[in-house]
């Protein structure tokens, strides 16, 4: 067991015992290799189910809304930033949250790992910086840092920005000379090629909405795609309707997205929907000096007014 998991269990156990929180939200080991399962723990004996490893790629800020009493939640760097966003957007009360921060060393890109094998992976065992993976026909040991998810490889906020306890020591943050190489590459395409890129990207989307539902930003009681009276968008597989969903979903995240990667992690069709949101993150940063979820006292660019706004039309 890694020290981080051990510490999470100790903290969770103490919080539940002292009745400081009613429940602890964290990750449990999944039933299949490279999977983890978000769980809620309410008793000391169930604390043993909690784990933290490089397969905990979903964002637990998605699970902190609508609880009555005080709860504790495990938060890696991006989860913590989404908790900040929740506090700013009045979706969570900081007083009712006990944040168990986990400095994160990045999540594994499960598809990239799977591509090393022709058959199904049957075992994935982590040991510090490496992981040993087995299928029925071969075994591979990898350096985890070579198989990080794309968003994790570009992460500059692995340490939680907000917490009540820390489960392990903070790590050194990287600084990037070129923070948005992927966006730059798409931006350099001409209009037709750009359009082609996005058409190709969403071609096999099945509209399961796992991208929308996996990320903590989408908490509207009724999403615009689910609105039935009036209906805003067609429900079928017409590419205009599929793209309308993706474009609007992305724009609703402008200045709010932390690039946690939960949307891509959840997609059963392996669609890199971050190609939509990353451009907006870049714009937020370049135009407003804003990165989402770093400070509970600052208002986000799209709900504040400033006389030195870079756009003339608003002045």
Partner 1 sequence: MILSSKEKGHTMKFITIDKKDWAKGIENSRKAYQLFGPVKEKNGVLIKNLEKGVLPLMEYTDSVMSAKSVMFPQSEMILKTTLDESKEDHHIMKRVDTNYSPRAVVGMRPFDAKAIQLVKMNFDTKDFRDPYWCDAYEATTFVGLAVNKPGLYDFSTSAGSGPFGEDGLDVLLADMDDKYVAKILSDKGQDFIDIFAVGTSSDEKESQVLFDVLRKEAEKNIASAIETDKLKDKTILYLHEAPFWDDVAFSCINCGTCTYVCPTCWCFDIQDETKRKASTRFRNWDTCMSSLFTSHASGHNPRDAKTQRVRQRFMHKLKYFPDKYEEGIMCVGCGRCVKSCPVNIDIRKVAKTMNSYENKE
Residues in contact with partner 1 by CB under 8 A are 30-33, 35-40, 58, 62-63, 118-122, 136, 203-204, 206-210, 212-214, 226, 228, 234-238, 265-271
The C-alpha atoms of residue 88 and residue 265 are separated, in whole angstroms, by 25
Closest CB to partner 1 among residues 213, 296: 213
Would you say 235 or 298 has its CB closer to partner 1? 235
Rounded CA separation 144/108 (Å): 7
Give the closest residue to 293 by CA, choosing from 111, 133, 84: 84
Q: How far apart are CA 124 and CA 226, in angstroms?
A: 38
Q: How far is the CB of 159 from partner 1 (least distance, A)?
A: 25
Nearer to partner 1, 127 or 270 (CB): 270
Count of residues making up the chain: 315
Closer CB to partner 1, 119 or 303, in the complex: 119
DSSP state of 193: H
How distant, in Å, are the alpha carbons of 227, 233, 235, 264 from that of 230? 7, 9, 13, 30
Question: In whole angstroms, how large is the CA radius of gyration of the chain?
Answer: 20
Spatial separation of the C-alpha atoms in residues 137 and 117, rounded to whole Å: 9
Q: Which is nearer to partner 1, 23 or 279 (CB)?
A: 23
**What are the C-alpha distances in Å from 196 to residues 181, 186, 189?**
19, 11, 10
For the CB of residue 11, give the shortest distance to partner 1 in the complex, in Å: 20
| Minimum CB distance to partner 1 smaller for 4 or for 211 | 211
Question: Are 72 and 23 in contact, with CB atoms under 8 Å apart?
Answer: yes
Q: Which is nearer to partner 1, 226 or 283 (CB)?
A: 226
Which C-beta is closer to partner 1: that of 97 or that of 121?
A: 121
HEC string for 262-280: HHHHHCCCCCCCHHHHHHH
Q: Return the sign of the alpha-carbon dihedral for residues 11, 12, 14, 15.
A: positive
82: burial class by Cβ within 10 Å (0-12, 13-18, 19+)? buried
């Amino acid at each position: 067991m890694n020290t981080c998991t051990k510490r999470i269990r100790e903290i969770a156990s103490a919080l539940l015992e002292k009745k400081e929180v009613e429940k602890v939200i964290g990750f449990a080991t999944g039933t299949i290799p490279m999977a983890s399962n978000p769980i809620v723990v309410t008793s000391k004996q169930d604390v043993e189910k909690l784990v933290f490893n490089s397969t905990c790629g979903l964002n637990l800020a998605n699970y902190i809304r609508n609880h009555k009493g005080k709860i504790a939640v495990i938060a890696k760097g991006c989860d913590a930033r989404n908790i900040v966003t929740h506090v700013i957007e009045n979706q969570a009360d900081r007083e009712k949250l006990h944040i168990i921060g986990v400095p994160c060393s990045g999540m594994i890109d499960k598809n990239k790992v799977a591509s090393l094998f022709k058959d199904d992976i049957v075992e994935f065992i982590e040991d510090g910086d490496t992981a040993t993976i087995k299928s029925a026909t071969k075994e591979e040991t990898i350096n985890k840092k070579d198989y990080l998810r794309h968003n994790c490889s570009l992460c500059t906020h692995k340490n939680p920005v907000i917490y009540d306890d820390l489960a392990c020591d903070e790590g050194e943050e990287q600084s990037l000379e070129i923070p948005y190489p992927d966006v730059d590459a798409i931006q350099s395409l001409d209009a037709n090629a750009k359009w082609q890129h996005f058409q190709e990207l969403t071609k096999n989307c099945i509209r399961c909405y796992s991208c929308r539902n996996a990320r903590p930003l989408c908490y509207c009681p009724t999403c615009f795609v689910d609105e039935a009276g009036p209906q805003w968008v067609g429900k079928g597989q017409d590419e205009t309707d599929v793209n309308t969903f993706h474009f609007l979903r992305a724009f609703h995240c402008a200045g709010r997205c932390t690039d946690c990667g939960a949307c891509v992690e959840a997609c059963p069709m392996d669609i890199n929907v971050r190609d939509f949101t990353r451009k907006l993150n870049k714009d937020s940063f370049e135009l407003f000096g804003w990165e989402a979820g770093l400070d509970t006292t600052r208002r986000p660019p799209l709900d504040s007014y400033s006389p030195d706004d870079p756009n003339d039309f608003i002045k």
